[in-house]
Amino acid sequence: MKNGGNIAAFEMEKVIQLNGDNIDAVIVCNDRMANTVIDVLENYGLAGSVAVTGQDAELEACKNVIAGKQTVTIFHPLKAIAEKAAEIAIEMANGKNLDSFVNSTENNGLYDVPTHRVNSIPVTKNNIEQVLVGSGFYTKQQLFE
């Protein structure tokens, strides 16, 4: 477990110690940290009754979603992101105008930076097969074994 997981477990323990088991949801930055939060919740008999979020669609988190221990993970469609990045890089190398790629802006604290956003997808028990197996990110066997 990386340090972030240790910190997440420590913080979740403290929340339960200070507030008891009256917890509705835990919004977690990523799936590794969510896994450690779920481990703590399991120790208190709360796994599955507290909504837990994460992101990155890591395999263990996906199995937690299927088991009802994690409510959602966010899938970043890496193939689409990589393909678009390569397409934009080629256009940049050829000195082309990139305005046609801009579909969003992100403020960096100084100004709005033109951006091409590839949307992430929330993955729940209801759409996990469609999103992750359908995209080829995981096989059905990987998810359900």
pLDDT digits (tens, 9 = 90+) for 26-58: 999 999 999 999 999 999 999 999 999 999 999
pLDDT at 127: 98
Q: How far is CA 3 from CA 6, 28, 34, in A?
A: 5, 14, 13
**d(C-alpha 7, C-alpha 77), whole Å:** 28
Same domain, 136 and 111: no
Same domain, 16 and 43: yes
Same domain, 65 and 130: yes
**d(C-alpha 16, C-alpha 45), whole Å:** 12
**d(C-alpha 128, C-alpha 86), whole Å:** 27
Residue 63, pLDDT > 90, answer yes
Same domain, 14 and 51: yes
pLDDT at 145: 86
Same domain, 32 and 43: yes
pLDDT at 15: 94
Same domain, 18 and 82: no
Pairing status of strand 104-107 against strand 112-115: antiparallel
Report residue 110 CA to chain centroid gap: 28
What is the residue range of 129's domain? 3-76+119-144
Q: How many CB atoms lie under 10 A from the CB of residue 13?
A: 14
Same domain, 26 and 93: no
CATH number at residue 134: 3.40.50.2300
pLDDT digits (tens, 9 = 90+) for 117-144: 999 999 999 999 999 999 999 999 999 9
Same domain, 83 and 109: yes
Same domain, 29 and 86: no
pLDDT at 6: 86
Contact 36, 7 (CB under 8 A): no
pLDDT class for 1, splitting at 50, 70, 90? very low
Same domain, 58 and 7: yes
Same domain, 11 and 69: yes
pLDDT digits (tens, 9 = 90+) for 66-117: 999 999 999 999 999 999 999 999 999 999 999 999 999 999 999 999 999 9
